[in-house]
Chains A and B, each alone.
Chain A
Amino acid sequence: EAGVTQFPSHSVIEKGQTVTLRCDPISGHDNLYWYRRVMGKEIKFLLHFVKESKQDESGMPNNRFLAERTGGTYSTLKVQPAELEDSGVYFCASSQDLSPGYSYEQYFGPGTRLTVT
């Protein structure tokens, strides 16, 4: 079974440009999450999709970030326009259906390393 995949693995862009990151979750996983780690900091939650709906986007830093999951399969995270502080590693994770009061492991992708110059 294929794991969570992310594309690209690395991206170097200039400040003010636009970048789109893609995540393909494990097949059948309705839950998809985006996380980010900036240099020297811990991994931070960005948002959570259940199928195509945004369940929680409380971690999104500002309106320059737009996440979509059309059709409830893969997801994209667009940064427009990119700023220097957006540099970091963006992780995507997926998990199976959630039951109330029970947690399921989240499977992480390898991440996309974004460098904004």
Chain B
Amino acid sequence: SQELEQSPQSLIVQEGKNLTINCTSSKTLYGLYWYKQKYGEGLIFLMMLQKGGEEKSHEKITAKLDEKKQQSSLHITASQPSHAGIYLCGADIGSSGYALNFGKGTSLLVTP
């Protein structure tokens, strides 16, 4: 089955700093999803990437899918305490676009 490796496992950054989270797949990604989970809450959809080289941005968060569609990165610019949480990458298990595999997540803490 497809495995998603996220790095780093956890991250502590000072407010205002930039950071990057990576998600690497052992297989080609048909669709790559980024979610954020606040502690004790559900998953909040951030972005979905499908095409090689695709890049999307929302507010201060940018996600990119590489040309080979096996790696994605999530970049946060000028981090804020509200960015804290667990970031999860998920990917289509197959090309039909439904069931998702997830990485273990990256825990982000933003300090004042």
Contact = CB atoms under 8 A, between A and B. Distances in A.
Interface of A: 4, 31, 33, 35, 41-45, 48, 55-56, 58-59, 91, 93, 95, 98, 100-111
A48 B99 contact: yes
Size category of the B interface is 20 to 34
B82 interface: no
Nearest to B94: A56
7 contacts: A43-B102, A45-B101, A55-B98, A56-B98, A102-B97, A108-B45, A110-B42
A91 B97 contact: no
Given A4-B42, A103-B30, A33 B98 contact: yes
Contacts of A100: 96
Contacts, number: 65
Given A98-B98, A101-B97, A103-B30, 7 more contacts: A31-B98, A42-B103, A58-B99, A98-B97, A100-B96, A108-B42, A108-B45
A57 B14 CA distance: 43
A103 B42 contact: no
